[in-house]
Structure 1
Amino acid sequence: MPLLDVDELTVTFGGRGRRADRGRDRDRKPTEAAGPTEAAGPAEDTSVRAAGPAGPAEDTSVRAAGPAGPAGGNAVRAVNGVSFSVDEGQVVGLVGESGCGKSVTSLALMGLLPRKGATLGGRADFEGADLLAMGPRRIRDLRGSKLAMIFQDPLSSLNPVVPIGVQVTEILKRHRGMKGEAARKEAAQLLDRVGIPDPDRRLREYPHQLSGGMRQRALIAMAVACAPRLLIADEPTTALDVTIQAQILELLKELVDQEGTALLMITHDLGVVAGLCDQVNVLYAGKVVESSGRRELFAHPTHPYTHGLLGSIPRLDAPRGEPLNPIRGSINDQIAWADGCAFAPRCDRYEMGCLTGTPELTEPREAGHQARCVNPVLATTEVPA
């Protein structure tokens, strides 16, 4: 049984969703929350022409909706029925452009979305209990101990008027029962472990006195302080230089290998995915469009969006001056999933079958490699250099 099993997670912003009582654990209980910045606003009225080499010859227009497609009225569904699982000692990646719902998914799992403005649905079973139905007190007991998260923006995640040492030792006191000098020494060891020089001095400093990279490493130290059962890392190495990035990734891998921690890695960096993740889930417009093992995904990307992401990466073996092959358009150029494939306005393999309702996750090539596409990329198609 997976340590974390997410089934049809949805997060809808806006509308008139009601929040159920979160003080009790119940099955499939909706809750309300206010969306962070990754959830985009109301649908735009933009006309996008979707055609390509595999598309029809006639003049066909695809109407673009908001970044995650409308959910009725002014509501926007930022996460649209996402399902995946994470086993002990496994690293699972969530990959996609900004606005696809990665951070919203992680905040929903941690119970960190505000209480008003949106509705949660689906299930997220962690050790047999639904995280989405837990009361505030119970999930606070899990956060920092069995559940931990490395946030994307350290400056807004740390308290600006509290020294770093107080923020790190608070976790040790709350979840490990440490006090006084013992907690301070353990905090200094944690800072040293993540590569912060002179940790004793840094414990007395405030977040604004640290560089962006040091703030990020302080967040990582707080997240790994209790060797959590599940660690969610939301772009953990974005603000770090290459050398420190390698150290942090090695630290996370060590935590997974030695402690059996399950790691959910949220990242834009496909290089990190290639070197760290066991299973990869590619998100687009709030849905998983491809799910596969790491090696199979990089060897044979099946969904045109995944194929485009890999083709956009600069290659060292490419001839000098050769241009990249980016995906055309932007995340705003999409249609609602209820009307067809949200990626159709940007897809070079678009055909009329793409507009006949939401495509299902199928296994076009082999068991365990799923793609949500009616016209998948052929196995013989090379990823563009």
Structure 2
Amino acid sequence: MSSNTPLLEVEELSVAFGGRGSTPVRAVDGVSFSLEEGKVTGLVGESGCGKSVTSLALMGLLPERGVEVDGRAVMQLPKGPEDLLSLPQRRMRDLRGSQLAMIFQDPLSSLNPVVPIGRQVTEILKRHRGMRGQAARKEAADLLHRVGIPDPARRLDEYPHQLSGGMRQRALIAMAVACRPKLMIADEPTTALDVTIQAQILELLRDLVTEEGTALLMITHDLGVVAGLCDDINVLYAGRAVERAPRRPLFAEPTHPYTVGLLGSIPRLDAPRGEPLSPVRGSVNDNIDWTDGCAFAPRCDHYTMECLQGPPPLVERGDRDHVHRCVNPVGNAGVAERTTLETSAVVGEEEDR
């Protein structure tokens, strides 16, 4: 594969849900992005913006009935490029675990509660690497040790409920990296963890990306996680990307009002005591159809009548790597000062590594 060729190129991905006789609900509406080896790409937005549906579509885990998936997701595989969205389930089962893997949000519900951890890990080794018996068990123990689980040989015989939340998440990561996949998708992997364990999991994911050259798609609503982990960021709203940029330009000079609103919702350590946060008003349900205009307009303090004149296109902001979907973007004056204070230390620390 050429060094300039993305590992995964997603083009105009759309997912619509709807039963017979009902109006389809478009959860993902023309999302495009690319993933490169050795880099972390973030999908950011509130719950209901289409992040998890995007990941399930790429993994081929959406139900076959009542769901319509359009677009392309071309991945560079050993036998050549293949479109993940058009592959039969038999082929996807061969790829899941070996070439692409997913770390789910809730480890307790993602693991089989009546099967020991060791058996769940060795099942992957048996399916994709042909390992059996003691060789598979030793490899499973090595994987648990690699992700930081103490006394891994004993943990192999324990059940998920006997492990802490952090160890269960580490076990899921061990299963995800068992076959050294080229692509990993992490769907809110730190939501249920305390801040100390969260930092350890994020450091572990970054190390895996660096050491193995894996491409990681990080799905989160936590901009602190984004600042410390992601290289490129896609901000989603109502199923569409409203801003896309590398990490530093996005935090230093955000232009879409939704991105600015998300950043304004972050608590700041240097803020005066008692100063209220500035959350985005309304909810994700307060939107209009993209065909009528900008879906964010009902919640936006900067909208004009031009925002309601049809779907806004993605526009380059000086640099083609920084694009936004807004006809009345937020001015940069003062934005950098407001947004980089809480992220510059984290970003600088990551760049020094």
Aligned residue in 2 for 1:140: 93
Q: Distance in 1 between matches of 2:110 and 2:176?
A: 12
- Which one of 272, 288, 305 corresponds to residue 352 of structure 1? 305
Aligned residue in 2 for 1:264: 217
Q: Distance in 2 between matches of 1:163 and 1:120?
A: 36
After superposition, give the CA deviation of every residue in 1:320-348 in whole Å (9 maximum; x if it has no partner): 11111111001111111111111001000
- Which one of 131, 145, 160 corresponds to residue 178 of structure 1? 131
Range moving further from structure 2, 157-166 or 131-140: 157-166
After superposition, give the CA deviation of every residue in 1:123-164 in whole Å (9 maximum; x if it has no partner): 000111000000111111110011011011212211122111
Q: Distance in 1 between matches of 2:300 and 2:318?
A: 20
AA of the residue aligned to 2:61 = L
Aligned residue in 1 for 2:48: 99
After superposition, give the CA deviation of every residue in 1:74-96 in whole Å (9 maximum; x if it has no partner): 21000000000011111110000
Report if the CA contact (8 A) 1:149-1:232 is conserved: yes
Aligned residue in 2 for 1:47: none
1:6 and 2:10 correspond: yes
Report if the CA contact (8 A) 1:82-1:286 is conserved: yes
Q: Distance in 1 between matches of 2:112 and 2:143?
A: 18
Range moving further from structure 2, 204-213 or 278-287: 204-213
Secondary structure of the 2:335 match is: coil
Q: Distance in 2 between matches of 1:86 and 1:366?
A: 19
Q: Distance in 2 between matches of 1:248 and 1:192?
A: 14
Range moving further from structure 2, 85-94 or 251-260: 251-260
1:191 and 2:144 correspond: yes
After superposition, give the CA deviation of every residue in 1:237-268 in whole Å (9 maximum; x if it has no partner): 22223232222222221222221111111111
Range moving further from structure 2, 280-289 or 270-279: 270-279
Unaligned runs of at least 5 residues, structure 1: 17-71
Q: Distance in 2 between matches of 1:381 and 1:237?
A: 32
1:78 and 2:27 correspond: yes
Report if the CA contact (8 A) 1:227-1:255 is conserved: no
Aligned residue in 1 for 2:351: none
Aligned residue in 1 for 2:346: none
Unaligned runs of at least 5 residues, structure 2: 340-353
The number of equivalent residue pairs is 330
Cα 1:97–1:244, aligned 2, differ >3 Å: closer, same or farther? same
Runs of 4+ in 1 over 4 A off after TM superposition: none
Q: Distance in 1 between matches of 2:112 and 2:75?
A: 29
AA of the residue aligned to 2:241 = V
* Greater relative contact order (CA < 8 Å, ≥ 6 in sequence): 1
AA of the residue aligned to 1:317 = D
TM-score (norm 1): 0.83
Q: Distance in 2 between matches of 1:379 and 1:139?
A: 44
Aligned residue in 2 for 1:28: none
Secondary structure of the 1:367 match is: strand
AA of the residue aligned to 1:250 = E
Deviation at 1:379, TM superposition (A): 1.6
Report if the CA contact (8 A) 1:194-1:247 is conserved: no
Percent of aligned positions that are identical: 75
Q: Distance in 1 between matches of 2:148 and 2:191?
A: 16
Report if the CA contact (8 A) 1:14-1:75 is conserved: yes
- Which one of 75, 78, 86 corresponds to residue 126 of structure 1? 75
Instruction: Looking at secondary structure, tell me which structure has more helix per residue.
Output: 2
Report if the CA contact (8 A) 2:106-2:189 is conserved: no
Deviation at 1:73, TM superposition (A): 4.8
Report if the CA contact (8 A) 2:59-2:96 is conserved: yes
Secondary structure of the 2:63 match is: coil
Q: Distance in 1 between matches of 2:248 and 2:294?
A: 26
Query: What is the RMSD of the two structures over their aligned residues, measured on CA atoms?
Result: 1.5
- Which one of 253, 261, 280 corresponds to residue 308 of structure 1? 261
Secondary structure of the 2:29 match is: strand
1:247 and 2:197 correspond: no
Deviation at 1:301, TM superposition (A): 0.5
Aligned residue in 2 for 1:331: 284
Report if the CA contact (8 A) 2:58-2:73 is conserved: yes
Report if the CA contact (8 A) 1:302-1:377 is conserved: yes
1:280 and 2:229 correspond: no
Report if the CA contact (8 A) 2:265-2:280 is conserved: yes
Q: Distance in 2 between matches of 1:352 and 1:73?
A: 31
Secondary structure of the 2:13 match is: strand
Q: Distance in 2 between matches of 1:196 and 1:373?
A: 46
Report if the CA contact (8 A) 1:195-1:244 is conserved: no
Q: Distance in 1 between matches of 2:255 and 2:318?
A: 8
Aligned residue in 1 for 2:103: 150
Range moving further from structure 2, 351-360 or 268-277: 268-277
Aligned residue in 1 for 2:345: none
